Amino acid sequence: VDVRLNEGFDPATLAATAWPALAQDKPALQRIRERGALIVGVYNEMPPFHAGGQGIDVALAGALAQALGVKLSLLPFNAGEDMNDDLRNLVWRGHYLGFGPADVLLHVPVDRPLMAANPRVSIFGPYYRERVMIARHLAAAPRMDSLDDLAGKPIAVPGQSLAGWLLIGADSGKYREQLRTKFKDGTEAAAALWRGE
């Protein structure tokens, strides 16, 4: 996956942009200030956004907390079945296991149907664009005019990923049996390609 941050990405600048939206919710802002910490939900193991307490989303969360003049309290979590679950569990209700809700959830698609389906949350401030990219051994797949050029070849994709879901359904599931989905992320999948697997 090729991640492009919006041009001129600076966590502090984005935090300043988000500040007016946060400041409009005066009860939430008062709660955050009284607590002395901004609780920010971040997805577990989603490099380069969050992995091991580091990444783009962690930097952005820190800048938001700094803009509010409070400490940062990260709430890392595993993604649910769909984004609606994540918004319910991490933003407006809290998880049935007892954690949450967070004040802010990062890495939420700025998507009109998602916004309409979740009137209890305010979704704003896109800060990245994502595209699925393909890496290949040129000797094994010299042409790449369409996915048909991968027919009959093993394809490495991270298990629960956009690339994985797209390839499972591509051309009515034509490549499903070729997929190797044991990889936790794109880095592991790329290493398998490098090893010739």
The confidence band for 20, taking pLDDT boundaries of 50, 70 and 90, is: low
At residue 187, the pLDDT reads 83
Q: Mean pLDDT for the chain?
A: 81
**How many CA atoms lie within 13 Å of 18's alpha carbon, on the beta-carbon side?**
26
Element (H, E) at 182: strand 179-183
Q: What is the Cα–Cα distance from 136 to 123, expressed in whole angstroms? A: 36
Strand order in the sheet with 71-77: 71-77, 37-43, 104-105
- Comparing 58 with 165, the larger pLDDT belongs to 58
5-16 pLDDT, tens digit per residue, is 555 555 555 555
At residue 82, the pLDDT reads 80
88-136 pLDDT, tens digit per residue, is 887 877 666 666 688 888 988 888 888 899 888 888 778 887 777 888 8
Per residue in 18-49, is it b (16+ CB within 10 Å) or e — as a string?
A: beeebeeeeeebeebeeeeebbbbbbeebeeb
At residue 98, the pLDDT reads 66
DSSP 6: P
Q: What is the DSSP string of 33-73?
A: HHHTEEEEEEESSBTTTBBTTBSHHHHHHHHHHHHHTSEEE
| Mean pLDDT value of segment 51-58 | 90
| Mean pLDDT value of segment 68-95 | 83
